[in-house]
Amino acid sequence: MNEVKRPQKSLIYFYVIMLMLMLVFNSLIAPMLSKQEIKEVDYGTFMTMTENKQIKSVQIQENQILFTSKDGDTIYRTGIMNDPDLVNRLHESGAEFTSKIVEQMSPLASFLLSWVLPIVIFIVLGQYLSKKMMDKAGGGPGSMIFNMGKSNARVYVKSSDGISFADVEGVDEAEENLQEIVDYLHDPSKYQEIGASMPKGVLLVGPPGTGKTMLAKAVAGEANVPFFSMSGSEFVEMFVGMGASKVRDLFSQAKEKAPCIVFIDEIDAIGQKRNSGNIGGNDEREQTLNQLLTEMDGFEGNSGVIILAATNRPESLDPALTRPGRFDRRVPVELPDIKGREAILRVHAKKIKVEDNIDYYAIAKMASGASGAELANIVNEAALRAVRDGRKAASQTDFEESIEVVIAGYQKKNSILRDDEKKKVAYHEIGHALVAAKQTDSAPVQKITIIPRTSGALGYTLQVDDGDRYLMSKEELENKIATLAGGRAAEEIVFGSVSTGASNDIEQATRLARAMVTRYGMSDDFDMVALETVQNQYLGGDTSLACSAETQAKVDEKVIEIVKAQHEKALKILTENRDKLDELAQHLYEKENITGEEFMEILNGEK
């Protein structure tokens, strides 16, 4: 889509030019049109110039004498003295008598010429320029001075390289929902014949980076209609009423260019739930929301204007905004599954040079839980790594390393661990991997490393599931907690003490155990009682307890009980396999990186 550029210079730019022209007119032109400058001199100077025959012309009035010199055009003025021989001396000096030396302008005419006329010209040209700018920008009677009340919506038209549904992968269900909108914009008559009407608004919800904005542009590209794009925060202004005016202006432009699509990104900036806690009336955001509600509900069914909006905080939106008749349809844009990730990787890989033997399915498995934006970043990181190594195309290793960069950061090549720390990190990571391998239903180990990363990790164990998992049993969650406890357990068995290296493992294990009790109903003491609610599902999933202090204390006891049980389980597994623990840790200590295949060969005694 190509953006339609709007006038960049505001009306104040032309007003400044007009003001400067008026000042130039008053300082340079007006004095030339008004009376000529007159210089005051005393009578003695007049007599001296008369005797020296320097006077060219003279005019004698009732109370003053005006004269000019032969050397220039300056007009002189002096008072009249009692001088009977004055006329004779002037005749002898050769001065010419005239009835008018200068045509003096009246004070009223001078004022009109110097100030009133420029101001009239200033106002007339200002009104003309204002009308021209409003016509070009699509404004109307509701537009305000200096474009304060105009919307900042960017208007796009279809271009040869515009985005279509073929450029968006991994969100097939969302595409199917939006394809109906495109079909309606192409041929609304078949829907009108049966009496059906399209949704007035479509709300795209999902985590960040899943392609909500790209989907909206793809709809506009497929429909071949004008596309208005504006962020929710652009409606928010310092002055009360400006946001509402921008909403009116945006919808006015949309109606003129119908059929078209209006896309409001991050609509939660103006669409949050209203409350009665404000003192002294509604604030600016609420007035903007009220205007948006009015404009959306005022559309006719056949107006041809479709409103698309995107947010990753749908729970914060006002119910009046999400009710049928406004945003009728809610389209989830979730994280892609393994097939979707593979398709997204292939789309972005077309933009770079890659080797022929790339296994995109294996890369998609390793990138479990990644969004479309993260997958695009992985492809770009692979290309950058190939350039750093002096190669012309990205390889499978580049893609795998780029996933590790996104997960754990770059390798800290200048960070050298002490020998005892390196050995402790090796046992810690092998503890994780060994506990995972000795349990059923655990994800296979893909890679183990003890090279420090920029994220702060001194090492990590990468586990990759064979496919996407949508459900996890109680036993699987317990196994995961035991795997997290494996690193600390290995340190206790081998060194007889613990270190700070397990801090992240402890946080994850505690979070899982608490979720088992408060959200998943996996505790006999509380059964199927929800003790915790999830907030901001798509933005980190923060939780808040919804129970009494006494119940919370019991929850804490149950969480501690679960974690301790799995910690003891990890200690038991590692104690029973102490030989393999030492052998694997020594191998990792020497090589610093080992693959999952190497790990399993040593564990099974094949190497």
Q: Which residues are catalytic?
A: 429
Q: What are phi and psi of 68, to 5 degrees?
A: -120, 150
Closest CA to 563 of 518, 497, 511: 511
Q: What angle do CA 78, 83, 84 make, to 5 degrees?
A: 140
Q: Count CB-CB contacts under 10 A for residue 307.
A: 24
- 43, 50 contact by CB (below 8 A): no
Q: Is the dihedral of CA 309, 315, 319, 323 positive or negative?
A: positive
Query: What would the two tokens of residue 548 be?
Result: 């009494």
Q: Is the dihedral of CA 337, 339, 344, 349 positive or negative?
A: positive
The DSSP bridge pattern shows strands 96-97 and 227-231 to be unpaired
Question: What are the helix (H) ranges across 159-241?
Answer: 172-186, 189-194, 212-223
- 396, 355 contact by CB (below 8 A): yes
Query: What would the two tokens of residue 72 be?
Result: 């220039």
DSSP-derived secondary structure letter, 276: S
Q: Tell me the CB-side half-sphere exposure of residue 370, using CA atoms within 13 A.
A: 29
- 365, 336 contact by CB (below 8 A): no
Which residues lie below 8 Å from residue 530, measured CB to CB, with a gap of 6+? 518, 519, 521, 546
- Distance in Å from the first CA to the final CA of the chain: 58
Q: What angle do CA 42, 46, 50 make, to 5 degrees?
A: 170
